[in-house]
């Protein structure tokens, strides 16, 4: 029987990944299930043969419910392997694939255990298994404890006396999740060894109306992403028809492959596309380009390190976020150490809240005076108008390839996705929100970013004309760079 498989761009990397734990996040229709099925089969082919010339492997295939296992996962295996796959509907459901290896000398014997687990209380189903590897299909529907238990069950078959497993693994696929989900924390906030995380390209791209092939319920236009995985195996209208009548939140998660948000408010930046605006790797700041540090004051000082390149790209390269910290302590204990350690040699200056001219009620000293005494060059932002500040960031978000956020900026990123938001009016029975963003950990760093964006845009993009503000204090950046 002829088996033909061509890996898409994402799974071509997955299949050669040396890490033990692999996670693939993608839109619907992106070929995740087929890629995962073939990852198991390729692993079985790569297993070293035992003394009898047999390559023996055993895999756990996990889904949240048995109906989903039968109607989707097992059906997909049968579509690929047809008569090569034998399925026994027992407890658990078992499958087997036996065929000669392409080397012409050895045999492949691949066992499959299909198990449904929708809660951590059912983990005992795994306790007696001895597996080579495991695949968790639609892992977002599962609890993290299931993955933890699976880690104890893989790397157990074949036994060491028979050569042991050549490359044990756990593979998880899922659609994008919200920022409070355990998968978001694992992929974006934790730094765990031997873990790899892949995000497939979005299936569609948001575009101008004249380029759009379909629109959502808010009137946003979309076109097919030519870099999307698996589009050659879908009808030309698959995604176009899918989004007809769909709301932007559904499209954002299931089609654009962006992280979503818990419906407790409305994100301030609907223009932000995580798959487009957040870079895959940390951004290296450009030498010779000034570092503009947008700083928010108060009891939770925060600042965003930005650059505007000669090509007009707005780079957000780093952040500092604090809680319950004085301006003086922030400057001495956080800001200066980062500048000296990470950005020595860069010309820089701070852009701060125009309200910094007001004197503190605690020590009768204005924030600008504290910053000046710390030896930090600064100027006040061109406006403190909320609309002007937001539009300064949107100005770069709307332009193709002009806004780049480093994944190093974890608080800014989570704010963009979900937590920098307009709070819903409690008394309202409809989708009505307050006019100003909610004050929280994420709002302060975003205020700082807005001050930097105003500086980068020259203050020209906001709709309401702001009153010009003179620089209160300005030391040449070159005099203190790398201090």
Q: Identify whether the C-beta of residue 369 lies closer than 8 Å to the C-beta of residue 352.
A: no
Residue 151 has pLDDT above 90, yes or no: yes
Q: What is the pLDDT of residue 106?
A: 97
Q: Identify whether the C-beta of residue 140 lies closer than 8 Å to the C-beta of residue 183.
A: yes
In this prediction, residue 425 has a pLDDT band, given cuts at 50, 70 and 90, of low
- Which residues, in sequence order, are bridge partners of residue 23? 172, 197
Higher pLDDT, 356 or 158: 158
Q: What is the CATH number of domain 9-199?
A: 3.40.50.300
Residue intervals of the chain classified under CATH 3.40.50.300 are 9-199
Give the tens place of pLDDT for each residue, 73-97: 999 999 999 999 999 999 899 999 9
Q: Identify whether the C-beta of residue 55 lies closer than 8 Å to the C-beta of residue 48.
A: yes
Give the tens place of pLDDT for each residue, 224-271: 999 999 999 999 899 989 988 888 888 999 999 999 875 567 789 988
Residue 120 has pLDDT above 90, yes or no: no
Give the tens place of pLDDT for each residue, 103-119: 999 999 999 999 998 76
Q: What is the pLDDT of residue 427?
A: 54
Residue 469 has pLDDT above 70, yes or no: no
pTM: 0.74
Residue 455 has pLDDT above 70, yes or no: yes
Q: What is the pLDDT of residue 468?
A: 35
Q: What is the pLDDT of residue 472?
A: 34
Residue intervals of the chain classified under CATH 3.30.420.280 are 291-479
Q: What is the pLDDT of residue 262?
A: 57
Q: Which CATH class is domain 291-479?
A: alpha beta
Q: What is the pLDDT of residue 103?
A: 95
Q: What is the pLDDT of residue 266?
A: 79
Residue 483 has pLDDT above 50, yes or no: no
Higher pLDDT, 431 or 133: 133
Cα–Cα distance measured from residue 132 to residue 339, given in angstroms and rounded to the nearest whole number:
48
Q: What is the pLDDT of residue 1?
A: 66
Q: Identify whether the C-beta of residue 403 lies closer than 8 Å to the C-beta of residue 397.
A: yes
Give the tens place of pLDDT for each residue, 335-385: 999 999 999 999 999 999 887 766 554 455 788 899 999 999 999 998 989
In sequence order, the 6+-apart residues with CB closer than 8 A to the CB of 329 are none
């Amino acid at each position: 029987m002829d088996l033909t498989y061509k890996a898409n761009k994402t799974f071509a990397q997955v299949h050669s990944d040396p890490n033990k734990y692999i996670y693939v996040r993608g839109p619907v229709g992106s070929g995740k299930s087929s890629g995962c099925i073939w990852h198991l089969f390729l692993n079985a082919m790569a297993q070293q043969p035992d003394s009898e010339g047999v390559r023996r492997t055993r895999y756990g295939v996990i889904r949240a419910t048995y109906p989903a296992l039968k109607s989707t996962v097992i059906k997909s295996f049968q579509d690929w392997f047809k008569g090569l796959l034998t399925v026994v509907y027992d407890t658990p459901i078992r499958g087997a694939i036996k065929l000669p290896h392409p080397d012409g000398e050895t045999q492949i014997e691949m066992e499959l255990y299909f198990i449904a687990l929708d809660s951590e209380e059912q983990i005992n189903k795994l306790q007696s298994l001895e597996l080579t590897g495991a695949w968790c299909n639609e892992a977002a529907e599962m609890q993290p404890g299931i993955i933890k238990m699976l880690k104890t069950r893989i790397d157990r078959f074949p036994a060491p006396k028979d050569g042991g497993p050549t490359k044990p693994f756990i593979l998880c696929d899922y659609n994008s999740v919200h920022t409070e989900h355990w998968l978001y924390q694992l992929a974006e906030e934790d730094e765990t060894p031997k873990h790899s995380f892949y995000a497939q390209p979005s299936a569609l791209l948001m575009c101008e109306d004249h380029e759009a092939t379909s629109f959502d319920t808010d009137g946003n236009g979309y076109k097919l992403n030519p870099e999307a995985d698996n589009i050659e195996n879908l009808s030309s209208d698959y995604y176009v028809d899918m989004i007809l009548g769909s709301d932007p939140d559904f499209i954002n998660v299931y089609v654009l492959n962006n992280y979503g948000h818990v419906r407790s408010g409305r994100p301030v930046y609907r223009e932000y596309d995580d798959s487009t605006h957040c870079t895959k790797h940390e951004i290296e700041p450009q030498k010779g380009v000034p570092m503009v540090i947008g700083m928010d004051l108060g009891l939770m000082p925060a600042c965003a390190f930005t650059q505007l390149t000669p090509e007009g790209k707005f780079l957000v390269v780093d952040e500092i976020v604090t809680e319950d910290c004085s301006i003086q302590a922030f400057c001495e204990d956080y800001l200066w150490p980062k500048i000296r350690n990470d950005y020595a040699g860069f010309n820089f200056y701070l852009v701060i809240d125009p309200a910094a001219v007001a004197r503190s009620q605690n020590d009768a000293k204005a924030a600008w005076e504290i910053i000046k005494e710390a030896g930090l060059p600064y100027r006040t932002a061109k406006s403190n108008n909320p609309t002007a500040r937001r539009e300064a960031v949107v100005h770069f978000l709307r332009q193709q390839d002009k806004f780049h956020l480093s994944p190093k900026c974890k608080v800014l990123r989570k704010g963009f996705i979900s937590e920098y938001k307009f709070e819903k009016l409690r008394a309202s029975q409809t989708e009505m929100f307050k006019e100003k963003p909610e004050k929280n950990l994420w709002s302060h760093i975003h205020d700082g970013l807005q001050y930097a964006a105003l500086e980068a845009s020259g203050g020209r993009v906001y709709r309401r004309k702001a009153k010009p503000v003179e620089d209160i204090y300005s030391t040449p950046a070159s005099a203190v760079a790398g201090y």
